[in-house]
């Protein structure tokens, strides 16, 4: 029900601003495919992040409207195709995949692979702008109801929701730090024996840097009387102060698209589901029920029946790969395939095959293709 309320808040905001939904989004209708965009952006495939930064970030709050995407290949030629939603979803997928990659330096991942902004990402002007753009694009995906392959660390999700971070969030940042804090709290001897003060050290660009947790922290010894305050200060530094600049940049971008008050409908776990749909297996029965057919196929066609038989034998990861191949997203809509827009379509591609193919001879050699703009799988008549 809260997801429905969230979507209604977005529809009301879009109506008030006079924008049309992004083609391929949860609220789009067929006519939105050809609606006038607020902007048309042309992006080089080898420089997606940089071109999105210069093309989309300046749009500000107007990016809530429809954005028309065109790609330029490595040869400098504009790729053929109409952006009926698939190209924007592809852009969104590439921005999140590249921007959230820990090797890029803008985000880090914890021991379980959950991401959060890198403390060092805010050290440069370019890093701040990229974080703002990524926040904006993630907000745009949420605004349009497009699922994204994003797995936020719980303390990062708490930042996004605007809820307080506590010591209980430390394990989602650093399990070793969490164990150290527990050891301090449970230490049965005199805490002064640990020779701690109100500082912490971290390596920055190859140098060990010491930070004071409070003013004059180098001269404040940790004792039994103040150890709780020390632990609180240590948690506050790691969960808040250390990532304050990159977090502010990310949220500045996200809130250009999404009102943070709307997100307070959800808790940390629910935000993850809202973003990515969670990790639950794809429901093949629901997928099949809401699939349409064209070009001569029907639900009773032999090739179609074989397709669904194969989908049921596939692993969850293989099903996600097929769905991403056709729709640009490895996950179905949060509320099921009924809400996939445009609907998933299996289109018949007529190919000649020997009549003996039914008895094990060579079958059609052509491989399936897809039109992500229309969520269409072009399936030869094997």
Concatenated DSSP letters of 5-28 = HHHHHHHHHHHHHT--PPTTSTT-
For residue 257, how many C-alpha atoms fall within 13 Å in the half-sphere facing its CB? 27
What are the angstrom distances between the C-alpha of 83 and each of 79, 87, 118, 362? 11, 5, 33, 37
The neighbouring-strand residues paired with 109 are: 115
For residues 7 and 146, the answer to whether their CB atoms sit within 8 Å is: no
- Active-site pick, 195, 200, 351, 373: 373
- ∠ at Cα 272 (269, 274), nearest 5°? 110
| Total residue length of the chain | 382
Q: Say how far apart CA 53 and CA 65 lie, in whole Å.
A: 17
| Residue 223 CA, distance from chain mean position | 44
Concatenated DSSP letters of 243-285 = GHHHHHHHHHHHTTTS-HHHHTTS-HHHHHHHHH--SPPP-HH
Q: Say how far apart CA 208 and CA 212 lie, in whole Å.
A: 13
Q: In the 8-state DSSP scheme, what is residue 68?
A: E
> Nearest to residue 235, comparing CAs of 184, 282, 276, 279?
184
Q: Is 373 a catalytic residue?
A: yes
For residues 117 and 250, the answer to whether their CB atoms sit within 8 Å is: yes
**Token match 């049921």: residue?**
312
Please provide the distance, in angstroms rounded to a whole number, between the alpha carbons at the two ends of the chain: 43
Report, as residue numbers or ranges, the catalytic residues. Answer: 373
């Amino acid at each position: 029900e809260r997801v429905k309320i969230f979507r209604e808040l977005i529809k009301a905001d879009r109506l008030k601003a006079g924008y049309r939904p992004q083609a391929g989004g949860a609220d789009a209708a067929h006519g939105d495919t050809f609606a006038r965009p607020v902007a048309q952006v042309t992006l080089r495939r080898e420089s997606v992040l940089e071109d999105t930064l210069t093309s989309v970030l300046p749009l500000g709050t107007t990016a809530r409207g429809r954005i028309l995407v065109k790609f330029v290949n490595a040869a400098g030629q504009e790729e053929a195709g109409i952006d009926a939603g698939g190209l924007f979803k592809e852009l969104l997928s590439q921005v999140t995949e590249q921007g959230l990659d820990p090797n890029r330096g803008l985000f880090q991942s914890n021991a379980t692979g959950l991401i959060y902004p890198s403390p060092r990402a805010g050290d440069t002007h370019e890093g701040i702008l990229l974080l703002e753009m990524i926040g904006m694009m993630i907000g745009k995906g949420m605004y349009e109801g497009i699922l994204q392959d994003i797995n936020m660390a719980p303390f990062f999700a708490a930042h996004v929701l605007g809820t307080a971070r506590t010591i209980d969030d430390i394990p989602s940042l650093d399990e070793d730090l969490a164990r150290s804090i527990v050891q301090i709290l449970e230490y049965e001897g005199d805490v002064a024996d640990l020779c701690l003060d109100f500082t912490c050290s971290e390596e920055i660009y190859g140098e060990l840097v010491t930070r004071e947790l409070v003013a004059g922290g180098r001269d404040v010894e940790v004792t039994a009387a103040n150890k709780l305050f020390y632990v609180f200060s240590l948690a506050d530094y790691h969960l808040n102060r250390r990532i304050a600049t990159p977090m502010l940049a990310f949220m500045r971008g996200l809130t250009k698209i999404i009102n943070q008050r709307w997100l307070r409908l959800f808790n940390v776990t629910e935000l993850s589901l809202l973003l990515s749909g969670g990790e639950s297996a794809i429901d093949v029965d629901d997928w099949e029920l809401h699939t349409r057919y064209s070009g001569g196929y029907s639900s009773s066609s032999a090739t179609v029946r074989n397709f669904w038989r194969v989908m049921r034998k596939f692993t969850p990861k293989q099903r996600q790969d097929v769905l991403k191949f056709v729709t640009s997203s490895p996950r179905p809509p949060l509320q099921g395939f009924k809400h996939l827009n445009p609907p998933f379509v299996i289109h018949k591609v007529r190919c000649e095959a020997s009549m003996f193919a039914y008895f094990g001879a060579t079958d059609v050699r052509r491989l399936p293709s897809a039109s992500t703009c229309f969520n269409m799988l072009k399936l030869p008549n094997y």
